[in-house]
């Protein structure tokens, strides 16, 4: 992945209070209208022209941009790898990182990067916008300024938020707990199963109880992804003819079952039997609820007991975005059998205590 870097000394005078790298991958936040009124990615080396108030933050900014900015709908694991490698390369020289990303798949990328960056001790803050930064009513300015403030804040020599997070619409959310829920309003992301890390009003109010402690070991970056992961969303009336090609697809190594409620699924013999056969053949099947809040508790109702008996693994309260990226990374790094053992253990605070 090709990218360019440029250092911008945005401090008004004297030494900057922190050094923050902005990684621009693409997305609405980096758009401006050209002379024909068409939205195009602008050169982030000119960010101070669009947002001169950045000087008040007293930061030294390093702007790193993908040579070919991408729409977030086109995000692939190779882009996650590129983001991880950029952070790894510049980790020792920066106090924090802000990743500018399209909103549609930001929760996937934030989850993937959270799992990649083991022993993280510095902020990696994802943000974007629903409207381009050049628009009069854009949310981009507030999101970017808040993200930079979070990424640069140090307390007693330690980063205030030493984890991957999403800063959007006045809230700060753990990256692997975030989910996009809005396409028409500025409060685009929610975290149903975990408290907000911070809220931004007149001041930024942090919740220390929710924020992870900084890693004490050396940063270790996991980079190998395996895309052999599929999702099967249940719905009333689903048939064997629909399920069989997915479950028996020789190209997949893991299947995410989007079940009802607390992990419930049809009790039909053909359905449970088909899953059991696939699991016996080596497929990893992970149960994730379709509900944005709550968690999977297999066996709580009769309609989930059969899944537990055939070897379906509970995904607890993970989001689908976290489940997909975690499975891809675990399988890519360690293989399917090891992933079966590791998937129920938290890697980056993405799930609550293990459920049945």
The single residue of 28, 109, 171, 319 carrying the catalytic annotation is 28
Instruction: With CA atoms as reference, report the closest residue to 167 among 152, 146, 139, 192.
Output: 146
Q: Measured between alpha carbons, how far is 234 from 220 in angstroms, rounded to an integer?
A: 37
Catalytic-residue membership of 28: yes
Q: Measured between alpha carbons, how far is 263 from 356 in angstroms, rounded to an integer?
A: 10
Residue 2 burial (CB < 10 Å; 0-12/13-18/19+)?
exposed
CB 63 within 8 Å of CB 45: yes
CB 144 within 8 Å of CB 127: yes
Residues marked as catalytic: 28
């Amino acid at each position: 992945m090709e990218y360019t870097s440029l250092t911008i000394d945005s401090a008004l005078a004297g030494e900057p209070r922190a050094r923050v790298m902005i990684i621009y991958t693409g997305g609405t936040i980096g758009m401006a209208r050209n002379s024909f009124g068409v939205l195009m990615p602008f050169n982030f080396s000119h960010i101070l022209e669009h947002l001169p108030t950045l000087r008040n933050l007293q930061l030294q900014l390093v702007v790193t941009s993908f040579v070919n900015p991408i729409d977030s709908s086109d995000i692939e694991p190779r882009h996650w790898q590129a983001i991880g490698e950029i952070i790894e390369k510049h980790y020792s020289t920066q106090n924090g990182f802000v990743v500018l990303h399209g909103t549609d798949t930001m929760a996937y990328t934030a989850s993937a990067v959270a799992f990649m960056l083991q022993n993280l001790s510095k902020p990696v803050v994802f943000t974007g916008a629903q409207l381009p930064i050049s628009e009069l009513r854009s949310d981009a300015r507030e999101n970017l300024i808040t993200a930079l403030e979070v990424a640069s804040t140090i307390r007693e020599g330690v980063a205030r938020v030493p984890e991957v997070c999403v800063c959007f619409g006045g809230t700060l959310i753990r990256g692997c707990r975030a989910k996009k829920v809005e396409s028409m309003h500025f409060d685009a992301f929610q975290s149903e199963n975990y408290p907000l890390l911070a809220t931004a009003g007149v001041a930024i109010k942090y919740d220390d109880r929710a924020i992870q402690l900084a890693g004490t070991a050396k940063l270790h970056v996991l980079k190998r992804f395996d895309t052999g992961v599929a999702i099967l969303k249940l719905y009333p009336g689903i048939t064997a003819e629909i399920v069989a090609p997915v479950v028996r697809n020789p190209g997949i190594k893991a299947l995410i079952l989007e079940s009802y409620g607390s992990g419930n699924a049809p009790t039909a013999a053909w359905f449970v039997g088909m899953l059991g056969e696939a699991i016996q053949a080596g497929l990893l099947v992970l149960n994730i609820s379709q509900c944005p809040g709550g968690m999977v508790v297999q066996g709580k109702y009769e309609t989930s007991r059969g899944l537990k008996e055939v070897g379906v693994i509970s995904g607890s309260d993970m989001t689908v975005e976290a489940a997909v990226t975690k499975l891809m990374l675990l399988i890519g790094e360690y293989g399917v059998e090891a992933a079966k053992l590791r998937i129920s253990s938290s890697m980056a605070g993405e799930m609550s205590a293990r459920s049945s």
